[in-house]
């Protein structure tokens, strides 16, 4: 299925990768890899995911980032 690129709005894109949660498409014009908007998290789900982590100097993963 062709998807419109959210960056350059070209019509030509191809399936780039699939995992258990979402599909990734690549634009044939600008090469952007994107997830279709209908597979984006809702604002509430995004906030719930965000609230699960702590940006703490004691967290080695956070410090490496």
pLDDT at position 55: 77
CA distance 17 to 14: 9
Please say whether the beta carbons of 36 and 15 come within 8 A.
Answer: no
Instruction: Report residue 8: phi and psi, to 5°.
Output: -105, -5
pLDDT digits over 13-51, tens only? 999 999 999 999 999 999 999 999 999 999 999 898 888
Give the model's pLDDT for residue 64: 63
**1-53 CATH choice from 3.10.20, 3.40.50, 1.10.3470, 3.30.1380:** 3.10.20
pTM over 0.75: no
Residue 1: its pLDDT value, please?
63
pLDDT score for 2: 73
pLDDT of 65 above 60: no
Cα–Cα distances in angstroms (integers) from residue 36 to residues 8, 14, 51, 54, in the given order: 14, 12, 24, 28
List the helix and strand counts (H, then E) for the chain. Answer: 2, 3
């Amino acid at each position: 299925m062709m998807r419109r690129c959210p960056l350059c709005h070209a019509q030509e894109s191809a399936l780039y990768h699939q995992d258990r949660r979402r599909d990734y498409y690549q634009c044939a014009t600008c090469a952007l890899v994107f997830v279709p908007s209908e597979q984006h998290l809702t604002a509430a789900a995004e906030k719930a995911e965000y609230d699960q982590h702590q940006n703490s100097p004691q967290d080695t993963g956070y410090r490496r980032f």
